[in-house]
Amino acid sequence: MSAPSRASQEATSTSTRFAVRSRQLARQQSVQPPVKATAPLWRSGSRTPIARSSPSRISSRPRTQVATSRMGGSLYPHLPGPPRRFGVPGRLALGARRHAARENEFPLPCHKKGPCGNLSFEGETLEETAMHHTVIPDLGIVLTFLRSGQGWSQAELGEAAGISPNLINEYERGRKRLSRERLEHLIAYLGLPPEVIDATLAALAANRARARAPRDSPDAPSEEAHRVEDLSIRIGTAVTGFVRTALWELTVEGEALRARQRAGFLWDRLKRHTPAERRTLVQRGRKYRTWALCERVAAESIRQAPNHPREALELAELALLVAEHLPGERTWALRLQGYAWAHVCNGRRVCNDLPGAEAAMVRARKLWEAGEPGDPGLLSKAWLPWIEAVLRRGQRLKAEILLTKARIHETLGDPEASTAALLEAVPLIDPRREPRNAWVVRINLALDLCHLERFAEAEPRLSEIRALAERLGEELDLTRVLWVEGKVAAGLGRTKEALLAFEQVRGVFRRRELTFDYALVSLELAGLFLEEGRTTDVKALADEMLQIFRTQRIEREALAALRLFCDAARRETATVDLARRLVRFLHRAQHDPELRFTEGAD
């Protein structure tokens, strides 16, 4: 049976039950029309109160049930009869007033619907009427009905809305004017949309006519009229449910639901096959080329990622294949391809292919943005940011691990292994998001390449390193970049350029009292002097170094090694090889103060 037919039958059955209950209520009211009042009811044009009747019939009524639609969870009340906490229902108070007017041969005022759904009467306002009669406005009845139907007490609603429960009670009893805007605000706390107000008012109007007059009144409807009314209500309710279901099916959400249901059936078929067979079916079968199947397979890829990374990647690539064969508008196909590429990125990430995941994310972002004009809003926009955030977290953790690994290899004196770790870490850190970490990784990589005398590989990286340092704007960062530039220039035979760079760097390090760095650049400068045979300059440089080291706190073994070089410089026995070995020793001594330097080996 189709969904519209089921909805129609359910609505018809519900309406029938409500119609039967409505007739029972009308018969009860015909026996004793006046009911319990919260204040005396006065005859029109008289100060004589109408005698009150027993409230047992009202208080014994069951709480009215609310019929809810199965489509979307919206409320569609069909019989807004008053719960047992009502003081005087509006329709019964109106009947009492009609009865009093008839007894006094007084013309009954015309019943009208005032603004915001409140009741008003000819010749007097609602406030004036309330002075003589307890008439609950329609919106007050709606508030009571919806609150009770949701299972809330007046105290609970008042606490949620931040107002006194007494004010809720006055709204429901008609003692305070309740506007439509205020009612919408209150039912929002009940989790109900504004549309239920109109539906409840319509049902209230339809059922109010059934209880206008007692059964023994001359103008009471006949049994045949009651049957006609019941049948019309049932048919109207059934048609309303059918039309609602049919119109919902024609919306984008209805089409999306059907497409996703078909995608579930298609995936049940595909998952029985091997990955290669799945790709063949998608390439050959047009029924597999739908956006919903792409979405379904991508979701399955996410589900498999924690425990089955290879299968997750295969499913993401299958989703991409579906997106690439999607017929129809090109921009929508691009949007879907971007969605699929993001899941390919996630699959590569869980397979520890972070560079491949980064490339997939770049492509996903590009295609996703290119397809935005043709997006009908069917795909969740949260997946791309979520997948990218997970990727960045994985990249950051991996980069931190690689940096630690490189630092350990550097401490152990293995620049080759340190270089390999840094080369792997470079693509994991985005300079746009993390310029400081990107600069640290790249300058350490350039230093390791210089230690390995791979100056030609280091030179192309210098421009990016300097650009990052200028972006950071720190003097010390720019000084260290100049130092690396001097190393590269010296290694490539550009001695004058290297000498100028080392002199500038020494000045900054001396001013900032960076003893180890000052010693390193001074030894490199001494090596250049020795290559040119400038022994006098080497002696002067050695005396200056020794004087500074005596006034600074420096480790004993490092100071002994520097004294060894200074003594060799005075004797004019210092060599370029000694200077370079001493530079390597001081690099390692920064991490191992107990490391000792001997003239024969480092």
Tokens 């002075």 identify what position? 131
Supply the pLDDT for residue 236.
64
**362 neighbors 385 (Cβ within 8 angstroms):** no
Determine the pLDDT at residue 434: 85
Which of 9-18, 57-66, 423-432, 439-448 comes out lowest in average pLDDT? 57-66
Backbone angles phi, psi at 129, to 5 degrees: -65, -40
- What is the pLDDT, as a whole number, of residue 126? 38
> Is 69 a residue whose pLDDT tops 70?
no
Judge whether residue 85 has pLDDT over 60: no
Question: Cα torsion at 505, 506, 510, 512 (round to 10°)?
Answer: 10
Same domain, 55 and 109: yes
User: pLDDT per residue over 335-369, tens digit each?
Assistant: 999 999 999 999 999 998 888 998 999 999 999 99
Predicted pLDDT of residue 315: 95
Residue found by looking up tokens 């294949």 in the block: 321
Q: Are residues 17 and 90 in the same domain?
A: yes
> Considering only CA atoms, which of 531, 489, 523 is closest in space to residue 506?
523
Q: Do residues 75 and 140 both lie within one domain? A: yes
| Pairwise CA distance, residues 514 & 51, whole Å | 103
Regarding whether 85 and 211 lie in a shared domain, the answer is yes
Of 364, 381, 398, the last residue of a domain is: 381
Q: Output the domain CATH number for residue 317.
A: 1.25.40
84 neighbors 59 (Cβ within 8 angstroms): yes
pLDDT at 35: 39
Ramachandran region of residue 413, left (φ > 0), alpha (ψ -120 to 50) or beta? left
**d(C-alpha 194, C-alpha 565), whole Å:** 88
* Predicted confidence (pLDDT) per residue in 384-418, tens digit: 889 988 888 888 888 888 888 888 887 777 888 88
Residue pLDDT, tens place only, 451-491: 888 989 999 999 999 999 999 888 899 999 998 999 899 88
Q: Establish if 473 belongs to a structural domain.
A: no
Do 229 and 88 lie in a common domain? yes
Q: Which residue, chain included where needed, has tokens 């007490």?
A: 153
Residue 550, helix vs strand vs coil: helix
Q: How confident is the model at residue 113 (pLDDT cuts 50, 70, 90)?
A: very low
What's the confidence (pLDDT) of residue 240?
Answer: 63
Same-domain pairing of 60 and 86:
yes
Structure letter (DSSP) for residue 82: P
* 48 — pLDDT class (breaks 50, 70, 90): very low
Query: What's the total number of domains in the chain?
Result: 2
542 found inside a domain: no
Q: pLDDT category, 595, cuts 50, 70, 90?
A: low
Q: What are 538-589's pLDDT values in tens digits?
A: 777 777 776 666 665 556 666 666 777 776 766 666 677 777 777 766 666 6
Residue 120 has pLDDT above 60, yes or no: no
Q: Is residue 359 part of a domain?
A: yes
Residues 90 and 237 in one domain: yes
Regarding whether 175 and 285 lie in a shared domain, the answer is no
- Given a cut of 50, is residue 131 above it in pLDDT? no
Which range has the top average pLDDT, 303-312, 430-439, 563-572?
303-312
The owner of tokens 């309330």 is 130
pLDDT band at 94 (very low <50, low <70, confident <90, very high): very low
Mean of pLDDT values over 501-526 = 83
- Mean pLDDT over 427-440 rounds to 86
Position 309 in a domain: yes
Residue 352: what pLDDT?
Answer: 87
Confidence at residue 93, expressed as pLDDT on a 0 to 100 scale: 42
Show the tokens assigned to 274.
């091997």
**Highest mean pLDDT range out of 60-64, 369-373, 405-409?**
369-373
- Residue 492, pLDDT > 50, answer yes
Domain match, 232 and 312 both: no
Residue 589 forms part of a structural domain = no
User: pLDDT grade, residue 62 (50/70/90)?
Assistant: very low
pLDDT value at 291 more than 70: yes
Burial 89-118 (b: 16+ CB within 10 A, else e): bbbbbbbbbbbbbeeeeeeebeeeeeeebb
Q: What is the CA radius of gyration of the chain?
A: 43
Give the position of tokens 């709606």: 142
Say if residue 15 is in the same domain as residue 118.
yes
Of 593, 514, 599, the closest CA to residue 556 belongs to 593
Where in the sequence is the domain holding 306, given as residue range(s)?
Answer: 254-381
Average pLDDT value for residue range 246-270: 77
User: Rounded to 5 degrees, what angle do the CA atoms 90, 93, 96 make?
Assistant: 150
pLDDT at 36 exceeding the cut of 90: no
Residue 301 lies in a domain: yes
Read off the pLDDT band of 65 (50, 70, 90): very low
Q: What is the pLDDT of residue 81?
A: 40
On whether the CB atoms of residues 134 and 39 are closer than 8 A, the answer is yes
* Residue 483 domain flag: no
Query: Residue 7 is inside which H or E element, if any?
Result: helix 3-31
CA–CA distance, 89 with 30 (Å, rounded to integer):
15
At residue 286 the predicted structure's pLDDT band, cuts being 50, 70 and 90, is confident
313 in the same domain as 167: no
The per-residue pLDDT of the chain, averaged, comes to 73
Using CA atoms, how far residue 382 sits from 223, 340, 343, 362, 371, in Å, is: 60, 13, 12, 17, 16
CA separation for the pair 159, 149 (Å, rounded): 18
Q: Are residues 235 and 283 in the same domain?
A: no
Strand partners, 75: 68
Q: Which of 338, 362, 381 is the last residue of a domain?
A: 381
**What number is the average pLDDT over the span 245-265?**
73
Residue 15 has pLDDT above 70, yes or no: no
Q: Within a domain: residue 134?
A: yes
Domain termination site, one of 381, 410, 438: 381
Q: Are 578 and 565 in contact (CB under 8 A)?
A: yes
How far is residue 256's CA from residue 244's CA, in Å, rounded to a whole number? 17
